[in-house]
Structure formats: C-alpha cells, structure tokens
Amino acid sequence: MKKVAVVTGANRGLGFETCRQLAKQGIQVILTSRDEAKGKAAAEQLQAEGLDVIFHPLDVTSPDSIEHLAQFIRNEFGRLDILVNNAGIALDFVFGPDGSIFNTKIETLQKTIETNTYAPLLLCQALVPLMKANNYGRIVNVSSGAGQLDDMQTGYPAYRISKTALNAVTRLIANELKDTNILVNVLCPGWVRTDMGGPNAPRSLEEGVDTIVWLATLPDDGPTSQFFRDRKPISW
C-alpha cells in the first residue's frame, strides 16, 4: 500500500519540490495550497511528469479548511503517513529601524504566528489521529535558523518569534508521541532560491528540500524531537 503524504504551501517553491521528490519515491502526495487555481496547476504539472499527486485546497489559518482536509483523507485513504508543514509567511523581512522589535506591530506578529505557528499545531491536532491509527507517521516542520535562540539577532522579529515558537511546538508534539512510531522533527532548509528567498540565494530548490524529504522518509529507528540543517542536528 502506498504511503500518503500531505504537503502544505505546495503550489510553488520548497513545497512544490517536496511534492515532486516524495512522489518520485512512490508516495501518494496531496498537494495543498490556499490558491485553488495555482494549486491545481501545480498538481497538473507534476501529474504530467507521471507522478501520483493530487490537489486539495487548504487555508492553513482556517480550522474549517483543515477539518475538510482531514475528512477528505479519512474518506479517500483512511490513513496519513507523512505531514510536511511547509506553509509560511514573512511579513517583516526588513532591516534598520523598521526591523526593530521596538517598532514591531502586534498585528504583524499575530498574523505571522497564525500561519507559521498555530497552523502547524492545528494540522497536527487534526491529522495525527490518522497516523496513530496505523502507528506510523513522519511530521516535518519547516522552520529557520532565524528561530535559533542561541543565534538570535536583530531584524524580522515577527518571523523569528514565529519560528522559535514552531520549534517549541515541535518539541511538545514529539514528546507526547515519544512512545509511538510517529517521528516529529523540524529543520532549517537554508537560504533557498524561492519567491521568499529571492534570486540571489545560494541554495537550489533540490538542496533546500533534501533534508525535508529525508525526514519525511525516516526509518523506524530514526531521530525525533530534533532540529536539523543539511541532515545534521543543530542547536535550538
């Protein structure tokens, strides 16, 4: 039986390439995005490559949308093996005075945390039962070195805080699932050439998703509750 994977924020960039690489390993991939037209086009592109990818709309900030996805998976597959929480936003990628924590608008912080932190938590709450049913799961949360506490600098505070909080969510979920075969990890993909990373970023999409795909397909004795970059643990 094919493994089933969900990837969020997958109509472009890291999410799209993650879908491609997982599907190339024979995994049934559910490509999700908020923009239905772009999501369908992305799935059709991968289908044209002969890959087993389907589209399902998902607004990660909407509990109703998340529940609709969970119901779809229950009805169509009855299981979920892999969840890649990739969807994320960066609203305050600025430096200088505008990037100061003292000038951060609470509205910016709230909106960023809603997508980058609350959404992965809500998705885990909705979808982990589908993993528990088969005692198998791989949860991969896409974070950033910007959220590392031991390297916390100035600039884009809302983004940094949201990723630090995501790291905490990862540890909490992993701890509660430590006696199961559901492995939960978080990673920094590095500075990748995406719409968010820009054209001058040093890393290709393939390099950026390598650790995501590795964590999504870990063996049963693989690591859990760790933070990775380039398949190597890094500090929180």
Residue numbers of the domain that contains 82: 4-233
The domain spanning residue 188 has which CATH number?
3.40.50.720
Query: CA–CA distance from 36 to each of 39, 40, 128 (Å)?
Result: 5, 6, 25
Long-range pairs, 97-105, Cβ under 8 A, ≥24: 99/154, 99/155, 99/156, 99/157, 100/154, 100/157, 101/154, 101/157, 104/157, 104/158
* Average pLDDT, integer, range 130-142: 97
Q: Using an 8 Å Cβ cutoff, are 31 and 213 in contact?
A: no
User: Among residues 197, 192, 221, which one has the least CA distance to residue 207?
Assistant: 192
Domain count, the chain: 1
φ, ψ for residue 93, nearest 5 deg = -80, 70
* Average pLDDT, integer, range 122-137: 97
Q: 69: number of CA atoms within 13 Å, CB side?
A: 31
At residue 83, the pLDDT reads 99
* Average pLDDT, integer, range 49-53: 98
Tens of pLDDT, residues 168-187:
999 999 999 999 999 999 99
Q: Give the global pTM.
A: 0.95
Q: 97: number of CA atoms within 13 Å, CB side?
A: 0
- Catalytic center residues: 159
